[in-house]
Structure 1
């Protein structure tokens, strides 16, 4: 359970950095408390998307991973971020990613920040 909480906090922090750095990734509405709650919910949604959908996409695109020496990972991460944005709209969460190239850059930022936060934060169960 502690590992799940740590990963969710890392996702929320990484999403917050991407929102802060890129003007085309937005989190709007309400005050600070409302935005923090929305950010945690989006981080949970992002975690579920990465846990359920990403392995299936990686399996189906395995030849492209081999052909591009793993660079297709940037595209897969962007698609997971766009899917999270779409699902957030369905759940009336005020998180939106505007455009594919913004999603590519956002996915790269989220990957780097999430990796760094997972190194720093404890991961014991």
Structure 2
């Protein structure tokens, strides 16, 4: 269980670094900052995200789940606010695009690692 959580945090950090390379308005100060941001996001996803999902359930249902990207962008912005200058996102639009790309990359990376660990 702990091994899976650590792998997930590492893969999320890799996804954050990849997004930082794609967008100039999404900046991280290296892999250590990416790991810290990934840990903060994991904590936020456990503590705050369920509350946000519950509060926005009607709009999430109406949007067929697409509003979850807005919630993910919001958690990215909270993580960025906690970390200060080592993690910066310039604008909520960038956060939404980053949330979509991070979700896709996490899906792909987790499937790749899951298949590798099974072999």
TM-score (norm 1): 0.86
More helix per residue: 1 or 2?
Answer: 2
Number of residue pairs the alignment of both structures matches: 115
Q: CA RMSD in A?
A: 1.5
Residue number in structure 2 paired with 1:57: 52
1:71-86 alignment runs, 5 A limit: 71-86=66-81
Structure 1 unmatched ranges of 5 or more: 29-34
TM-score (norm 2): 0.90
Q: 1:114 aligns with which of 103, 106, 110?
A: 106
Q: Structure with the greater relative contact order (CA < 8 A, sep ≥ 6): 1 or 2? A: 1
1:105 is aligned to 2:97: yes
Structure 2 unmatched ranges of 5 or more: none
Superimposed CA distance per residue, residues 1-31 of structure 1 (whole angstroms, 9 cap, x where no aligned partner): 1011111011101111110111100113xxx
